[in-house]
Amino acid sequence: MTPVPLEHSLLLAGTLFSLGLLGILVRRNILFVLMSIEVMMNAAALAFVSAGSRWAQPDGQIMFILILTLAAAEASVGLALLLQLHRRFKTLDTDAASEMKG
């Protein structure tokens, strides 16, 4: 079994990161913005794992676990903000988030 070349996995990670960035810039819905951030974090995790695999170091997997916990915390806080925004303003538009105070 031949390993996947580092260039291919980094190209995939860069493409995923670009798609996530495009999703953040284009969409106005907070749910889609949160999903785009998750895609960007997974792209960074893929880059760390592939680089760690290339140099036979466990650092990439350690960073993957760190990114996974960060993504879980981001999802919980983001969904809590999403629920509050929907409860108060009955919309998920990012412009309505600027009106929240407190």
Cα–Cα distances in Å, from 2 out to 5, 56, 58? 9, 15, 20
Question: In the predicted model, is pLDDT for residue 6 greater than 70?
Answer: yes
pLDDT at 95: 81
pLDDT digits (tens, 9 = 90+) for 18-30: 999 999 999 889 9
Give the pLDDT confidence score for residue 85 in this predicted structure. Answer: 87
pLDDT band at residue 89 using 50, 70 and 90 as cut-offs: confident
What are the tens digits of pLDDT across the range 50-63?
999 999 899 999 99
**In this model, does residue 46 exceed pLDDT 70?**
yes
* pLDDT average, residue stretch 70-85: 93
Give the gyration radius of the chain's Cα atoms: 17
- Asked if the model's pLDDT at residue 98 lies above 90, the reply is no
What percent of the chain shows pLDDT beyond 70? 98
Phi, psi of 29 (to 5 degrees): -80, 130
